[in-house]
Structure 1
Amino acid sequence: MRAQASEPIGLSAAFWQRTDVLAALSARDIGHLFRLVRQYGGMSQTRIGIAVNLSQGKVSAIMNSSAQVTTLDVFERIADGFAMPDPARLTLGLAPRAASTAIPSRDTSRPPADPPRIAPPTVNLVHSGEDEDTMRRRDFVGLTGAALFSAVLQPTAPATPADSLEDIAAALVEHPIPTNRPIDLTALARTVAQAKSSYQACRYAEVTAILPTLLRTVRAVCLTTTADARHRAHALSAEAHHVAASILLKQDDKGLAWLAADRSTQAAHTSENPLMIGSSARIITRALMDGRHHRAAITTATTAAQRMDTDLRHPTENDLSIYGSLLLSGAVAAAQTGSRHTATELLDEATQAAHRLRHDANHMWTAFGPGNVLCHRVNIALTMGDAGTAIDYARQVHIDALPIKERKATLLLDTARAFLTWNKHDQALYVLRAAGGIAPEEITARPATLRLVRDLLATAPITVRREAREYAESLGALA
């Protein structure tokens, strides 16, 4: 009997184990996934659309990269429509099917996958040109209800315990022990992808919990594998250590962050994968900047970008994303040195790469695209002491088009800093609350963000001081 069009698409187990399919799932590149389903499953756009509850026009737009999938419910519909097996769901960043139907546990270490959204009021605030008093009256009234509870009343305990960082430190410095157990690089790749996805979703406690074991595993595997598998193992090690360095930078742990970044770079070069080498240059650049070695950071980022520009005559989306992200890293470093000309030049080159990419995506875990370039313009304008220009750039960002929560939260924190520099304390407080609604651990688990909250309270005028103090106390920022 002929299958009904509304039934889930049944794809073979071999399809979900293909390297190109796993890459599409890891990058959450649904357009690429749809193209692979059509290529290997023989499914038309109409059939795909029926299975995942999207119109044929929407499927076509996603396949040609003029639209993208960013919301959890659509990812879930796609996974269900394709009858995606649990390993594929995990690679896509979703809970396994069995877990999604079980009674939720009381584990609170991981925030809800789709917390109450308060981003739209923030976007309205940043985009609007209304009188400041009018916005204050309207927006703070709006924050007294459900949004206040979702954005302000976050847990006061730090989300990243010190002992977790000690475990990461131990995993970084221990001599790796070769393993005699069978090595499943595909399963290891899924775990690495889960760590990267959780980091980008700002689930930092979850990442720190899995990193010690993951780091020990990838280092042991690199000692054991041979031939082509060795290159793949080192690429996974580069990515795992990249995540570790990113978490450590969030925690202001410069020494360990540098060690993890260096391990990422060494593993990337051993993998002989140009994209891994370029990606590792990004995390080394960030570590150099965090240590105030800004000129070395500029050199590292721009040299890696120039190498890619020279070697890649027909760049893929992955190439453009790594290349553009390196330029953005160099621009931030240049701004830190006060070199406005160099920062602007690198930003303009990154803009050209973003225009070639045409949309914001998350290829190679970069979140690169036109919106990401604008986010960096916000940060660089703020660094150069021009808070008004930073806010003007922030008004141009379509926050819902940014593909990851970490980038959204970072944009809002930069915008809050700009408002604070501009002595708009009420707006700074409002945007901080909104950032917490999107990514709670970006507020509660980062020393730098808690310092921003304390700075806001220390300089707040009497009209905002009470609200600022209540917010700071709710975060435990006064302890």
Structure 2
Amino acid sequence: MRRRKLLANLAATAAAAVGAPILPTGKTPSENVAAGEALVARVRDAMLGLHSDVTVPSAVVLHTDLARAFTDFHACAYGSLAVRLPRLICAAHARAGGAGDDGLLVHSYLLATRMLIKLDEQQLGWMAADRARQAAEAAGRPLLVAEAARQLAVLARKADWHEQALSIALAAADHPDLRGGEPALAAQRGLLVQSAAYTVARTGDAAGMRELTGEATAIAKELGPAAVLRNHGGGFSPTTVQLHLVSAENSAGDPSAALAAAKAVAPGSLPSTERRARYYTDVATAFARWNRRDDCIRALLAAEHHAPEETHARPAVKSLVSGLLVSGRTTTELRGLAARVGVIA
């Protein structure tokens, strides 16, 4: 009943509205920015089928490569991922349709979608997510179908299609295929409910967001402290739900609540470098909205320390730095950060 009310509220709203530190990668900042650009360009070309004479290794080699691609993503190693992920997409297409589909094409496109969303490449993201959905449905993989739905919901939210985003996420969470005692199925439901909570936050409904987050928290507590589905949405656990709450409180317009939520997260307990970078970027966003410039810069520098390739390439970080440059005094630290992310001070 509450979910139907949330959807009804959204429908009504829509109608009414008719000195640089040493970087651990050993790369220069400009190389990190270029790695993000190369990743997008190579994934695009792979998706468009522009590579000829694709060599298709054995299934064992391909799945080893997929595991390494996930490792690259979790480590925010864009340069390595720019080589590995397009190669996987090409090889997966070349062998698609064979007997015993092992989900390689679906996993490759789901990973590509997450990467493209992070780099704000919405057009390619839609393409990748829809291909993932079709491949998952053809392979009869309910868990992967649900994850593709979650990615589509994220893209719909980013397009400000809030009613559609909420409908996609909640319909997928309530699908009978995700019912059962398997931890992975419960974790996927939790990820979908989290996505719905974030969408509700974007509409300004903080109470609805917290209610849905509470639902996700209850699922996570039943599963225990270990992260489940690490390769789907960064893992699902009580800690990752709390991390998601930081973003959601920011989106709902309450930076003080976002910072309070962040205090309950120990960054070292997060399951990957990518999640830790997300934490510090979300904290920086909250400080920026609260006009705490120095704290914002410190949080961005922490994100950069953990994940320089991601921090230098992400449009969200560039936007934060640009805002700092035009909204107040500039410092040596801020000018150095701006140079490293490719923003002119």
Q: TM tier, shorter chain?
A: 0.7 to 0.9
Instruction: Work out which of the residue numbers 280, 296, 317 in structure 1 matches 2:183.
Output: 317
* CA spacing shift, 1:222–1:400, aligned 2, 3 Å: same
Percent identity between matched residues is 29
Instruction: Work out which of the residue numbers 147, 156, 162 in structure 1 matches 2:29.
Output: 156
Q: CA deviation at 1:174?
A: 2.4
Distance across 2 between alignment mates of 1:383 and 1:335? 6
Per-residue deviation, residues 175-201 of structure 1 (Å, max 9, x unmatched): 99998x886323222212211221121
1:297 aligned counterpart, secondary structure: helix
Per-residue deviation, residues 265-319 of structure 1 (Å, max 9, x unmatched): 11111111221112222221222222222221111111111115x75232x2222
Q: Which amino acid aligns with 2:255?
A: A
* CA spacing shift, 1:346–1:416, aligned 2, 3 Å: same
Q: Stretches of 4+ moved more than 4 A in 1?
A: 175-179
Q: Which amino acid aligns with 1:173?
A: L
Distance across 2 between alignment mates of 1:425 and 1:311? 44
Which residue of structure 1 aligns with residue 271 of structure 2? 403
Distance across 2 between alignment mates of 1:162 and 1:428? 26
Q: Which amino acid aligns with 2:310?
A: E
1:250 aligns with 2:118: yes
Which residue of structure 1 aligns with residue 59 of structure 2? 185
Distance across 1 between alignment mates of 2:159 and 2:71? 26
Q: Which amino acid aligns with 2:162?
A: H
* CA spacing shift, 1:439–1:271, aligned 2, 3 Å: same
1:281 aligns with 2:156: no
1:363 aligned counterpart, secondary structure: coil
Which structure 2 segments of 5+ residues have no match?
Answer: 1-18
Show the 5 A alignment for 1:138-149. 148-149=21-22
Which residue of structure 2 aligns with residue 467 of structure 1? 333
Instruction: Work out which of the residue numbers 194, 199, 202 in structure 1 matches 2:73.
Output: 199
* CA spacing shift, 1:441–1:362, aligned 2, 3 Å: farther
Distance across 2 between alignment mates of 1:381 and 1:441? 26
* CA spacing shift, 1:470–1:163, aligned 2, 3 Å: closer
Q: CA deviation at 1:472?
A: 1.5
Q: Return the structure number with greater relative CO, CA threshold 8 A, min gap 6.
A: 2
1:414 aligns with 2:282: yes
1:174 aligns with 2:49: yes
Which residue of structure 2 aligns with residue 19 of structure 1? none
Equivalent residues of 2:203, 2:252 under 8 A apart: no
Which residue of structure 1 aligns with residue 318 of structure 2? 450
Equivalent residues of 1:183, 1:221 under 8 A apart: no
TM-score (ref. length: structure 2): 0.86
* CA spacing shift, 1:262–1:423, aligned 2, 3 Å: same
Q: CA deviation at 1:344?
A: 2.0
Distance across 1 between alignment mates of 2:116 and 2:178? 32
Alpha-carbon RMSD across the aligned residues, in angstroms, is: 2.5
Show the 5 A alignment for 1:344-355. 344-355=210-221
Show the 5 A alignment for 1:4-403. 148-150=21-23, 155-157=28-30, 158-160=33-35, 162-174=37-49, 184-223=58-97, 225-226=98-99, 229-230=100-101, 232=102, 235-308=103-176, 311-314=178-181, 316-366=182-232, 367-403=235-271
* Equivalent pairs, count: 322
2:29 aligned counterpart, secondary structure: coil
Distance across 2 between alignment mates of 1:207 and 1:177? 20
TM-score (ref. length: structure 1): 0.63
1:210 aligned counterpart, secondary structure: helix
* CA spacing shift, 1:362–1:405, aligned 2, 3 Å: farther
Q: CA deviation at 1:150?
A: 4.5
Equivalent residues of 1:381, 1:389 under 8 A apart: yes
Distance across 2 between alignment mates of 1:410 and 1:244? 18
Deviates more, 1:164-173 or 1:322-331: 164-173
* CA spacing shift, 1:187–1:396, aligned 2, 3 Å: same
Q: CA deviation at 1:173?
A: 2.3
* CA spacing shift, 1:312–1:264, aligned 2, 3 Å: same
Distance across 2 between alignment mates of 1:296 and 1:409? 29
* CA spacing shift, 1:236–1:335, aligned 2, 3 Å: same
Which structure 1 segments of 5+ residues have no match?
Answer: 1-143
